């Protein structure tokens, strides 16, 4: 064997080396072949122009690149500024980019790099409109530039790829803006709209709520069948979605427990060392007598000791959560909690003892154990959480996005998808970020259960509300038969008479009172002289405001309204959503002046365009995948989507057959 190897060693080395070179170079060759095939393979065509698989995947990847600029606990950037879901809208994004490029709206990498400040402002504005809490654009920009950008570049993304992705997003936003402002409004229409918007009437009102009649008249108890029918018709509706303002869709809600560390309690167990107090006085160089300034230095020492205790408490909580999490499987930034998991090590009572023991061992201070409150018997909505005393008003400041108040933090749990999870919390594990109350006490909480917005499981969950609402609606229907009688009483005896007859001492019933100085315009009614900061008169809905302005326009503005026909000026306006009847007296008609018209003339056209664009996209979104395919004459994409649907249907059919 050795003779054979010595005889053919040169040949063996040549053949072996050649094989090693082939093995070493093969992956690169295969990658190049795959890339070339991808460039030659057509994904679909846009108006005859080929879009290769490689190009399609490159542009689609930009959604993830852009959204990587913010932590995953934040709503996606592409969704907040362009309503694009990175999981479902890849093809839509590619087509929007292609259309923006065709329109000449996409710049180069420099345009993308300079777009970040504007992007932060757009995110802030849209977050406020979506009621996602306070988001500070400057803090957002600082994070994206100093943390998000470097983190994205570390994930095998080049600067040119990142900046080009931002340039594409900028182009898409320009494209959407062009669509929103494309409509042209004629001058006569703008004048008519401005007149309608500015025309105003001043009224006085007595609102007669139906629940008062239901309670005073002792409405009969409804049958079970009637209650169930009433409940089922509104079971899955939110109050604002129902035509009568009644809906039983329950808001996001949680069960929780929390722990409170009170600074006053910590201060009571800390006694400053007299020697240290005097040393600080000497180092300060103050000329005041020691006795006069001694409390200042004592408070300084106490505050420092309290902060040390709070730091140790924070370490105790983090250590307990870290130890518990280490035994659980990971799912991204969250843990998978198995059914029947023993949560005793992370309960607030266990953490209370852990904090007390750690402070005693590390600092030698015996503190009063923190207070623990457990709310596991009833669900807590945002309104309930706000009412939890100091905790309900507490907040935490994050490095990005501004402060988070306690209701936002508690409801922003992983299991409630309709609210942003800025603290990366989940059911079962404590939130390790402490909330600070206004007395500067510190609170930790743990969510024990969470339910997103959902209908009640049964009528029994909201039975009391259903009974009250049913009686109120029956009383409302009866009120409509006597609405004109109340109007006539107001004409003959005055609104004060109606207000006096409606007096009640029941705190659960809406008071019946005379309200004057109500300014009514086409789009709003407010109590006060200025729409800004004034109280909305929600008892006057759109139909009611329209009726008031229609009658008011028949008055002579040169003659005081009080000298004109009172019967004509007095209206009975039912409001189904508020479940009552408003008896209204028109006290003045204030037509729009030329000066007022000129002050808003420039913005009226824009307001009309925005309103009509929003109404249009609700029925036919110009940027839906279907609209883009039709407008851009896309071929190949429809068949691919249809094939995917057929494949999914084929996969579901066996499951349906088994069921």
Residue pair 432/322 in contact (Cβ under 8 Å)? The answer is no
Residue 345 and residue 541: Cα distance in Å, rounded? 54
Query: What HEC string does 229-241 produce?
Result: HHHHHHCCCCHHH
> What was the pLDDT predicted at 76?
81
**Least reliable range by pLDDT among 254-263, 481-490, 584-593:** 584-593
Q: How confident is the prediction for the chain on average, in pLDDT?
A: 83
Instruction: Report the pLDDT value the prediction gives residue 642, as an integer from 0 to 100.
Output: 43
pLDDT of residue 259: 95
Decide: helix, strand or coil at residue 332. coil
What burial class does residue 153 get, using C-beta atoms within 10 Å of its C-beta: 0-12 exposed, 13-18 middle, 19+ buried?
middle
CB 409 within 8 A of CB 392: no
Residue-level pLDDT at 361? 94
pLDDT at 311 over 70: yes
* Closest-CA residue to 394 (of 353, 434, 424): 434
- Separation in Å, CA 347 to CA 311, 343, 482, 606: 19, 6, 59, 55
pLDDT class of 584 with cuts at 50, 70, 90: very high
Please give the model's pTM, rounded to 2 decimal places.
0.61
d(CA 352, CA 340): 23
Q: Give the phi and the psi of residue 392 in degrees, each rounded to 5.
A: -60, -25
**179-231 pLDDT, tens digit each:** 776 666 566 666 677 677 778 899 999 999 988 765 555 667 899 999 999 99
Q: How far from the centroid of its chain's Cα atoms is residue 316's Cα?
A: 32
> Of the candidates 404, 422, 411, 399, which has an alpha carbon nearest to the alpha carbon of residue 75?
422
pLDDT at 649 over 50: no
Neighbours of 522 (CB within 10 A): 16
What was the pLDDT predicted at 440?
87
Mean pLDDT of 588-610: 68
pLDDT surpassing 90 at residue 643: no
Closest CA to 472 of 219, 241, 230: 219
What average pLDDT does this structure show over 254-267? 94
Question: Do β-strands 253-261 and 442-451 pair in parallel, antiparallel, or remain unpaired?
Answer: antiparallel
Which pLDDT score, from 0 to 100, does residue 221 have?
84
* Least confident interval from 133-137, 410-414, 434-438: 133-137
pLDDT at 532 over 80: no
pLDDT tens string 427-465: 999 999 999 998 789 999 999 999 999 999 899 989 999
- In DSSP terms, 584 is beta-bridged to 205, 571
Whole-number percent of the chain with pLDDT over 90: 44
pLDDT of residue 305: 94
d(CA 375, CA 381): 12
Of residues 333 and 428, more confidently modeled: 428
Mean pLDDT, rounded, for 389-408: 82
Query: Residue range 79-84: average pLDDT?
Result: 82
- Cα dist from 100 to 105, 118, 177, 369, whole Å: 5, 18, 11, 62
Does 382 or 592 have the greater pLDDT score? Answer: 382
Q: pLDDT exceeding 70 applies to what percent of the chain?
A: 79
pLDDT on residue 264:
92
pLDDT tens, position by position, 608-638: 666 666 666 566 778 888 888 888 888 887 5
Q: What is the mean pLDDT of residues 492-507?
A: 78
């Amino acid at each position: 064997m050795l003779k054979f190897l010595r005889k053919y060693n040169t040949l063996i080395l040549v053949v072996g080396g050649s094989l090693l070179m082939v093995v070493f170079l093969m992956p690169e060759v295969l990658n190049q072949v795959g890339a070339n095939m991808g460039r030659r393979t057509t994904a679909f065509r846009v108006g005859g122009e080929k879009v290769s698989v490689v190009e399609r995947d490159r542009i689609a990847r930009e959604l993830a690149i852009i959204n990587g600029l913010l932590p995953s606990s934040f709503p996606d950037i592409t969704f907040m500024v362009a309503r694009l879901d990175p999981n479902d809208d890849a093809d839509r994004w590619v087509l929007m980019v292609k259309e923006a490029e065709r329109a000449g709206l996409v710049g180069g990498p420099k345009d993308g790099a300079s777009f970040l400040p504007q992007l932060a402002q757009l995110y802030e504005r849209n977050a406020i409109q979506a009621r996602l809490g306070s988001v500070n654009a400057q803090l957002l920009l600082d994070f994206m530039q100093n943390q998000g950008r470097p983190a994205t570049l570390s994930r095998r993304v080049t600067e040119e790829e990142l900046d080009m992705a931002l340039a594409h997003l900028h182009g898409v936003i320009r494209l959407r803006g062009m669509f929103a402002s494309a409509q042209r409004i004629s001058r006569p229409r703008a004048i008519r709209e401005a007149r309608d918007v500015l025309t105003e009437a001043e009224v006085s009102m007595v609102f007669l709520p139906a629940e008062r009649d239901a309670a005073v008249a002792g409405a009969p108890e409804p049958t079970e069948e009637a209650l169930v029918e009433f409940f089922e018709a509104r079971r899955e509706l939110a109050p604002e979605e129902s035509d009568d303002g009644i809906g039983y869709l329950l808001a996001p809600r949680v069960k929780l427990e929390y722990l409170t560390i009170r600074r006053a309690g910590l201060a009571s167990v800390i006694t400053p060392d007299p020697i240290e107090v005097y040393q600080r006085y000497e180092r300060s160089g103050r000329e005041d007598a020691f006795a006069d300034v001694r409390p200042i230095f004592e408070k300084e020492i106490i505050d420092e000791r309290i902060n040390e205790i709070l730091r140790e408490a924070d370490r105790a909580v983090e250590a307990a959560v870290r130890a518990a999490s280490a035994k659980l499987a990971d799912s991204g930034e969250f843990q998978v909690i198995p059914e029947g998991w023993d949560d005793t090590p992370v309960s607030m009572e266990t953490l209370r003892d852990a904090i007390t023991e750690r402070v005693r061992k590390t600092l030698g201070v015996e503190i009063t154990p923190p207070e623990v409150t457990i709310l596991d018997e009833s669900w807590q909505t945002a309104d309930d959480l706000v009412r939890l005393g100091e905790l309900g008003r507490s907040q935490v400041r994050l490095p990005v996005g501004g402060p988070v108040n306690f209701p936002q933090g508690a409801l922003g749990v992983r299991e409630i998808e309709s609210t942003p999870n800025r603290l990366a919390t989940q059911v079962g594990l404590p939130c390790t970020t402490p909330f600070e109350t206004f007395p500067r006490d510190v609170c930790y909480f743990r969510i024990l259960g969470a339910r997103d917005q959902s209908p009640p499981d049964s009528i029994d969950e909201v039975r009391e509300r259903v009974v009250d609402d049913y009686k109120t609606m029956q009383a409302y229907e009866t009120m409509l038969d006597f609405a004109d009688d109340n109007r006539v009483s107001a004409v003959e005896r005055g609104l004060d008479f109606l207000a006096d007859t409606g007096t009640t001492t029941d705190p659960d019933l809406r008071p019946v009172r005379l309200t004057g100085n109500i300014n009514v315009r086409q789009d709003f009614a407010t109590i006060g002289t200025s729409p800004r900061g004034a109280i909305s008169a929600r008892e006057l809905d759109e139909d009611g405001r329209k009726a008031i302005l229609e009658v008011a326009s028949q008055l002579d503005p040169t003659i005081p309204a009080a000298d004109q026909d009172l019967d004509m000026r007095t209206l009975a306006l039912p409001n189904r959503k508020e479940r009552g009847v408003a008896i209204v007296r028109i006290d003045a008609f204030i037509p729009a002046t030329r000066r007022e018209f000129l002050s808003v003339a420039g913005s009226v056209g824009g307001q009309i365009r925005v309103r009509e664009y929003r109404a249009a996209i609700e029925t036919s979104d110009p940027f839906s995948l279907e609209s883009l395919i039709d407008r851009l004459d896309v071929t190949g994409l429809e068949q691919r989507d249809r094939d995917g649907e057929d494949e999914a249907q084929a996969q579901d059919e066996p499951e349906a057959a088994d069921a």
